[in-house]
Amino acid sequence: MNTVRRLTGHLARGIAMIWVVTTISFVIIRNIPGDPVMGQYEKLIEQGMAPDQAERATAALYGFLPTGSLWDQYVGYLNGLIHLDLGQSLSTPGAGVATIIGSAAKWTILPVLGGTLLSFLLGVTMGVYAAIKRSGKLGDVLSISGSLLHGVPQYVIGLLVTAIFTTLWPILPAGGPVDIEYVPGFNAGYLVSLVQHATLPVLTYALASYGGWILAMKSSVATVLGDDFILAAELRGLKRGVLFRYIARNAILPLFTILALSLGMLFGGAIFIETIFNYPGLGLLLVNSIGARDYALMGGTFLVITVAVVAANIAADLMYAVIDPRVRSGGAA
Amino acid sequence: MKRLAAITAVAVISTASACGGAGGSAGSDVYTTIDGAKQIDATAPINPFNPQGNTFLGYDAMSLAWPKNDPVDPNRFYPGIAATWTVTPDQGEVVVRLQPAARWSDGKPVTSEDVRTSIGLAYTQGGTAYAVDPKAAGSAADVQVLDAKTVKVTQGANKSNLFLRNVLSTVVVPAHVFGGLLPADFWATLKAARGSGPAAEKAKTAITGLAQKVISFAPAKDVSAGPFVLERVNPGEALLVRNKYFYANQNVAPERVKVLNYTGNQQIWNYLISGKLDSAPFTAVPTDVLNRIRQTQGNEVRKGFSPVAVSMAFNQTHKPYDNVHVRRALAYLIDRSQVTKVASPEAGTPAETTTGIHAKSAKSWLGDGLGDLDAYQVNPAKAAQELKAAGMTQQGGKWAMPDGSPWQVEIHVPASFSDWVSAAKAITSQLNDHGIDASVITAADYTLYLDELSSGRYDIGFWLMALGPSPYNIFQRIYGSANGWQLLAGQLTRVPPGTQGNWMGGPETLDGVNPGTLTGRLNAVSPEEQRRIVGMLAKVTNQELPVIQLYDYVNTQFVSTTRYTGWPSADSDVLRLPAGVWMQLGMIKKGGR
């Protein structure tokens, strides 16, 4: 009963949060300066199209522009959301926003989820070693590598791995999600191509976030190492492996919350990584929709990110209670 | 642990080996390129009326004909779906004869009815040759099917000398796929729309109301009359395979075409450096990158005419830029060669002077008259004279406004245009050296830049101009809607500065000449009269400087001779056409060096 009440409270707060964020983002998006039709027209001119041709190519876009007062548009938008209709895209006229987001989301989940989990596993494991061996060379090396990678921006790592693996030692594809020559499905060629194309984005994401995990885990382990139960375990003569598990299980608790939030944020995509690798996920979609002033697509993408973060927050809260008995029993965390 | 590490290492090496030249895996029968006109969106329909649609001009989307890259004449073409055409001297009638052997990729013949349906669909989108409003210059009044392979398109009363060009640029779609989009009474409605009164207005609304339906239409599969047909598309690439029914299949060498998506120039450069592309579209390239691209075996550069130039445009409602002496002074202080060297050394040539026309076209249009114009060579003494003539004052080595207040020159550019940013920085540096306090302000993106520019917020902004080959297109950028002259439904009107997009805010007449009216006439007059008007407009532009022409773009493309040969030579009149057209024309052959 307590759990149901807790869940209901979380859901109510989550829906309220989504409504607030959606409303704020709606107002901001509709007030971004810039005329999408003029932008498209000049873009075509820039590409060498004659003015009359460019005019013809953009004229029909006027029909896809939102009309009516801001309030009317807002009411229409909310009404659409209630009916799970995110509207029509302006930059890809005629295509539904939900379809476009659905298409992009799958390409974000693969590299960002893969990168997050890989960096989490590596970072947490190395973080424990860095804390335990903090007075040795291994600890120094791990800590320095974590600090260095934590300080280098994602896009710098992305450009470096691109230069190394696509130009200096060209063994991996420079961009795109999969080679079009392979028929999509469960066949070796397609799957290998999928992995090849995801390797550099995943590697970049993992390297860029690995530093944060290792430093956080090292700090958490260092705190746990000073706890009385560790001293008691050592005095009881427990094996190193058992002791390691004691340390890791207690130190990892705060990192689970960060992991859950990171997984929620993954729907925001990795904007720089997707842009560098031309990887067609939500981050790249968001950038393109802002450039094109595609109001409906921007709104839809923000909505997906908001829902994912709110859902991840709720999941983190609930999960914490599951993995930490002190929270579940109402004791001190 | 060691065993695990060894297994991991072997797996990594195996994967890398499996990639086997991810940088250049294309087989000899695959042609790899990039469509510079759009980014690939896998959710977009296979529909040429959709600006994001998954059709690729020259490969699976076919025009009646393909315009040649002529610096002066906009009415020269290579055949496309149209094998031949005739046009009356006043361009009142265009008769198009289709390729006798043309077939769609599903085996059905390409007929006049396909052309008529395509024109009907084009009317729903608006535009020049197919404007519903009968008063619009150069709009078609009638489309007649003469026989299964011959169509006659008649121009309305308000004639334009671009009618042939606009008709031959029509993209032809299959009537048996797209025809259902037009209601059965479409042509009767169109006829009614070209009349007058409430019934005509209702008919116009009915036709333009079809626009969204047409643009959103998503055929289940591609039906192409071009050399290729779309097999499949993902968000990063599109694969086109040979259309076995293409009328000139003997000319086409590649079996498949792979079109890669790109999100920025640097991706095109990377693809070129890794030797992956057989040809790449026009892209701005810094010198060091160009050198690296050239180092890749087989890569070659093809440069040609590009009818675009970049200028520094003034908002003449803002002081002191309303004064021609100030504009001239700035022109005398800007070293265009230096600016071009810094901003676009490989894809630009310094403007010889300001005429409004690309230098290559200017020679043809103006002949000896070009030499009579002020070249605006760097001349600080003349600049000082001009500034004094404008009443500007000097205080502590800095130029100031006539009332003694500081003069701050602010040049606006979009941050995403790296060559414009470099050019603006070079200009401000030069102006600062001559005692003019100048700075560059960047806008976050191009859309924002255009919005702020057109709303009159900027004193000075960079502006694309000289869009040939049609002389109307050339001068429309200076004496068109950005400067207050609007051509709507055949009627030229003038709107006051600061309203309806008139951000340049120039006067209506210059030296007794109304440049907007003259520009509007360029579409309708004879070639001799065009030449006279172009001469007048070039002269007035050179004297009044609503813009300072900085550099003319050079179309810089890349081709690879590794897998294919037969590439267009430098300055070829096909250079700006898609590579699919080169293939149709039989230029591209298998087997490289």
Which B residues in the span 255-284 are in contact with A, Cβ-Cβ below 8 Å?
A: 256, 258, 260-264, 267, 270-271, 273-274, 276, 282
Taking the C-alpha atoms of residue B318 and residue B313, their distance in angstroms, rounded to an integer, is 12
Assess contact for B584 and B58: CB atoms under 8 A. Answer: yes
Which A residues in the span 21-60 are in contact with B, Cβ-Cβ below 8 Å?
A: 33-36, 38-40, 42-53, 55-60
Taking the C-alpha atoms of residue A280 and residue B41, their distance in angstroms, rounded to an integer, is 9
Contact A38 B237 (CB under 8 A): no
- Within a domain: B461: yes
Neighboring chain A residues of B216 at a CB cutoff of 8 Å? 88, 93-95
Q: What pLDDT score was predicted for residue A330?
A: 54
Q: What pLDDT score was predicted for residue A227?
A: 85
| A258 pLDDT tier (thresholds 50, 70, 90) | confident
Which A residues in the span 218-257 are in contact with B, Cβ-Cβ below 8 Å?
A: none
B579: domain CATH number is: 3.40.190.10
Which A residues in the span 80-139 are in contact with B, Cβ-Cβ below 8 Å?
A: 88, 91-95, 99-100, 103-104, 107
- Within a domain: B362: yes
Assess contact for A308 and A264: CB atoms under 8 A. Answer: yes
| A265 pLDDT tier (thresholds 50, 70, 90) | confident
- Within a domain: B522: no
For chain A, the structural domain boundaries read 2-82, 104-329
- Within a domain: B486: no
Q: Which residues pair with B155 in a beta bridge?
A: B140
Cα B251–B253–B256 angle (5° rounding)?
125
Q: Which residues contact B17 (CB under 8 A, 6 or more apart)?
A: A171
**Model confidence pTM above 0.80:** yes
Same domain for B457 and B313: yes
Same domain for B455 and B422: yes
Report the residue from A33, A61, A170 with minimal CB separation from B23. A170
Q: What pLDDT score was predicted for residue B24?
A: 40
| A47 pLDDT tier (thresholds 50, 70, 90) | low
Cα dihedral A201, A203, A209, A211, rounded to 10, equals -150
Q: What pLDDT score was predicted for residue A230?
A: 84
Same domain for B201 and B166: yes
Same domain for B190 and B132: yes
Q: Which residues pair with B65 in a beta bridge?
A: B79
Q: Determine which of B35, B43, B575 to mutate to test the interface with A (most A C-beta atoms within 10 Å).
A: B43
- Within a domain: B52: yes
Quick check: A56 pLDDT over 90? no
Report the residue from B128, B263, B273 with minimal CB separation from A278. B263
Same domain for B236 and B166: no
Q: How far is B148 from chain A (nearest CA, A)?
A: 28
Taking the C-alpha atoms of residue B582 and residue B591, their distance in angstroms, rounded to an integer, is 16
Interface pTM, i.e. ipTM: 0.77
Pairing relation of β-strands B408-414 and B256-260?
unpaired
Q: Provide the CATH number for the domain formed by A104-329 in this structure.
A: 1.10.3720.10
Q: What is the mean pLDDT of each run of 10 residues along chain B (593 residues)?
A: 47 44 54 88 92 93 94 91 96 97 97 97 85 84 96 92 93 97 95 89 89 92 98 94 97 96 84 91 81 92 91 96 97 97 91 95 90 96 97 93 95 92 96 97 92 93 90 93 84 88 93 92 90 96 97 92 93 92 96 69
Directed axis angle between helix B112-125 and helix A51-59, to 10°? 80
Number of structural domains (chain B) is 3
| Phi and psi at residue B4, to the nearest 5° | -60, -45
Q: What pLDDT score was predicted for residue A91?
A: 82
Taking the C-alpha atoms of residue B193 and residue B548, their distance in angstroms, rounded to an integer, is 43
Neighboring chain B residues of A90 at a CB cutoff of 8 Å? none
B450 part of contact set with chain A, CB < 8 Å: yes
Report the residue from B51, B270, B447 with minimal CB separation from A174. B270
End-to-end Cα, chain B, rounded Å: 49
- Within a domain: B236: yes
B87: domain CATH number is: 3.90.76.10
Directed axis angle between helix A240-251 and helix A114-132, to 10°? 120
Q: How far is B245 from chain A (nearest CA, A)?
A: 22
Same domain for B72 and B148: yes
Same domain for B66 and B27: no
**Looking at chain B, which residue has its C-alpha nearest residue A31?**
B448
- Within a domain: B12: yes
B12 part of contact set with chain A, CB < 8 Å: no
Contact A42 B452 (CB under 8 A): no
Same domain for B436 and B325: yes
Q: What pLDDT score was predicted for residue A260?
A: 81
Contact A103 B216 (CB under 8 A): no
From B216, B238, B266, give the residue that closes a domain.
Answer: B216
Q: What pLDDT score was predicted for residue B58?
A: 96
Query: Domain residues for B16?
Result: 2-59+226-298+561-590
Burial B543-575 (b: 16+ CB within 10 A, else e): ebbbbbbbbbbbbbbbbbbbbbebbbeeebbbb
Q: How many residues are present in chain A?
A: 333
Neighboring chain A residues of B576 at a CB cutoff of 8 Å? 48
Residue with tokens 């309220």: A16
Q: What pLDDT score was predicted for residue A62?
A: 66
Quick check: A57 pLDDT over 80? no
Q: How far is A122 from chain B (nearest CA, A)?
A: 14
- Within a domain: B278: yes
Contact B448 A167 (CB under 8 A): no
